A and B are shown apart, each in its own frame.
Chain A
């Protein structure tokens, strides 16, 4: 099966007063139709910037996609005109952000905000768009659609707003939905509702989802394929069951071990020592080396490449490289 979107060697840099931050550093992956790919990592690892780069939302003059290509539907999203990109955004690829409160316009009714993309991208008349908006509100599990369509964002709760965001995002039946921490700001019981809504809308239209999250529980529940990022780079990727059962990279292993799990209490939680490196002070090395239990000499001086380590997994770690053993 051909991939829906193929990202090759994507690099996004930010120029700051004290140096260049490589927020996304040579990242490649692909998403197939109907697949859910989760990108996990801690704050500052570049997962959101990857999403922003795909959507063409990295803002100059400080931030810039400096290298790579994003193949979607036979086009390179980084090299098409603004007008073409506008037609794809919201139509073929749409995005949901973390904060539903700040992603909606406070002075326009919910109904109008759902109708807008329908009228622009699908060329529906006002009447048709309104009818479709009501359908969408019901589709994401909110009752009393007509009343909701007339209300303003401040009248709804966070969980409802996030479902409205999903309604807007799926309104044009996109092929790819990017969801950037869609449930982080929500309570667990509401999170369960929103994840359920995402799953249902995916089943109905066979769209692909790129889900960005820091919560490994959410990953296990939603993902088909998982990508783990650390300091701007992919350190490990693989099929979800395989990756959770046999994580290869020490960082993935550490992440999985440090999450407290209900019903599996231990006297002391495992914790990864130290903290994420300063992105301005990165040198040629494995970026994880100073927090790693199995750090070797080579880890301090050379960067490992992402290589196949099992049938469905790839990891960037010298532990799995023959070169390292020879030195």
Chain B
């Protein structure tokens, strides 16, 4: 077990829907519905899916920012959701989170150097002086300079703020970083800079990433293994090369074909999916994808497909494979 840095087993997270005067629970949004995955030390695991697929909730539940509904999360063999508060706060510095929106994740009134060093002081890992040293260190590692230390967030562009977000996570010297759509809010030319920074930091610091994104082309550049989510369930999981050269699930195929490629006049066989993503409060029966799947047969409506290994660590949940 211990060779995995992170192991998630049958994780479920349901949010209650309440209604009426007494706030009675009338249903559940199954944001994460039975997800299992493992992440080895030093690898980058990509979690892809459209909005509402539950990929961010997976990230947050792993960090115990949400309490799980069922299942197990093991970090270095420790069951995260069973730990006491004190044990948990001891563990927190080892796992960090980077958010999507670099504008709203920084306090506008705190100098960025203090924002970067803050967590060190709070966790009692350094004195104020040491925290300052360390903040300068990581700012530099993230491509910022020492004169940026005493500036305020509004003085920075989106790309720079994302670098600050990364520096904040790095300050604690974590082993594991969950990055939740860290480049989606950035322009193309800046996006490339940040992707390269992620790669460089992984090399120099031996980091392990869980990279959450809706953009398959970004994920392909960064991740070793990829999981594709749809409505709270994992549809397909495989190594990068497997997934891109031989996607098995119809949803993965559709996602891949939907991405516009910057080559004009290229005629591709495109699978245009019909309809919208169904509501996670009332997901379709059987295979959740059957309402939009171009190949659906009657069995898909009735039976939930098993998420199974089809060889070479390529997992897929589809009756037709």
19 A-B residue contacts at CB 8 Å? Answer: A42-B190, A43-B158, A188-B255, A190-B50, A192-B258, A193-B273, A216-B262, A217-B259, A217-B261, A218-B260, A244-B262, A255-B189, A256-B262, A258-B191, A259-B217, A260-B218, A262-B244, A265-B221, A276-B157
A157 contacts which chain B residues (CB < 8 A)? 276-277
Q: Does B256 contact A (CB under 8 A)?
A: yes
Contact A275 B262 (CB under 8 A): no
Q: Does B265 count as interface, using CB distance less than 8 angstroms?
A: yes
Within 8 A of A (CB), among B172-230: 187-193, 195-196, 199, 214, 216-218, 220-221
CB-CB < 8 A to B220: which residues of A? 260, 262-263, 265
CB distance from B258 to the nearest CB of A (A): 4
In the complex, the answer to whether A260 meets B195 with C-beta atoms within 8 Å is: yes
What is the interface of chain A, defined by CB distance below 8 A to chain B? 42-43, 157, 159-160, 187-193, 195-196, 214-221, 223, 240-241, 244, 254-256, 258-263, 265-266, 268-273, 275-276
Do B192 and A220 touch (CB < 8 A)? no
Contact B266 A220 (CB under 8 A): yes
Closest CB in chain A relative to B244 CB, distance in Å: 7
CB pair A244 B188 closer than 8 Å = no
Bound: A302/B276 CA distance, A: 52
| B214→A259 contact, CB < 8 A | no
- Please give, as numbers and ranges, the residues of chain B lying within 8 Å of A187 by CB-CB distance: 50-51, 214, 277
Beyond A256-B262, A269-B195, 9 extra complex contacts between A and B, CB < 8 Å: A187-B277, A188-B259, A191-B260, A195-B260, A217-B262, A221-B261, A223-B264, A262-B261, A265-B220
User: B261 near A241 (CB under 8 angstroms)?
Assistant: no
Asked if A275 contacts B276 (CB within 8 A), the reply is no
- Interface SS of chain B: helix, strand, loop or mixed? helix
Q: A residues within 8 A CB of B38?
A: none
Residues of B near A260 (CB, < 8 A) are 192, 195, 217-218, 220-221
1/0 contact trace for B248-278 toward A, CB 8 Å?
0000001111111111111000101100110
Cβ–Cβ contact A42 & B217, under 8 A? no
**Which chain B residue has the least Cβ–Cβ distance from A43?**
B187
Interface size class for chain B?
Answer: 35 or more
A189 near B273: Cβ-Cβ < 8 Å: yes
Give every chain B residue within 8 A of A268 (Cβ-Cβ).
196, 199
**A259-B262 CB under 8 A given contacts A268-B199, A270-B192:** yes
Query: How distant is B291 from chain A, measured CB to nearest CB, in Å?
Result: 13
Q: Which of A42, A215, A256, A259 has the most CB of B within 10 A?
A: A259
CA distance A276 to B261 in the complex (A): 25
Q: Does B94 contact A (CB under 8 A)?
A: no
Provide the bound-state CA to CA distance between A237 and B92, in Å. Answer: 51
Most B Cβ at <10 Å: residue of A160, A196, A255: A255
How many angstroms between the C-alpha atoms of A262 and B240 in the bound complex? Answer: 11
> Which residues of A sit under 8 angstroms from B284, Cβ to Cβ?
none
Q: Are A272 and B189 in contact (CB under 8 A)?
A: yes
A contact residues around B216 at 8 Å (CB): 188, 262
Once the chains are docked, how many angstroms separate the CA of A190 from the CA of B220? 21
- A275 in contact with B190 (CB, 8 Å): yes
Which residues of chain B are within 8 angstroms of A262 by Cβ–Cβ distance? 216-217, 220, 244, 256, 259, 261
Report whether B272 and A42 are in contact in the complex, using a CB–CB cutoff of 8 Å. no
Contact between B190 and A255, CB atoms less than 8 A apart: no
Give the complex CA separation of A116 and B193 in angstroms. 47
A198 CB to nearest chain B CB (Å): 13
Question: What distance in Å separates the Cβ of B199 from its nearest Cβ neighbour in chain A?
Answer: 7
Interface membership of B159, Cβ < 8 A: yes
Q: Which residue of B lies closest to A251 (CB)?
A: B189
A191 x B276 contact (CB < 8 A): no
Q: Are B192 and A272 in contact (CB under 8 A)?
A: yes
Cα distance A269–B188 in the bound complex, in angstroms = 11
**B160 in the interface, Cβ–Cβ < 8 Å?**
yes
A-B CB proximity, top 5 nearest: A217-B260, A271-B192, A258-B192, A42-B187, A187-B50
Return chain A residues, CB-CB under 8 Å to B264: 219-221, 223, 240-241, 244
> What A residues does B188 contact at CB under 8 A?
42, 214, 216, 255, 258-259
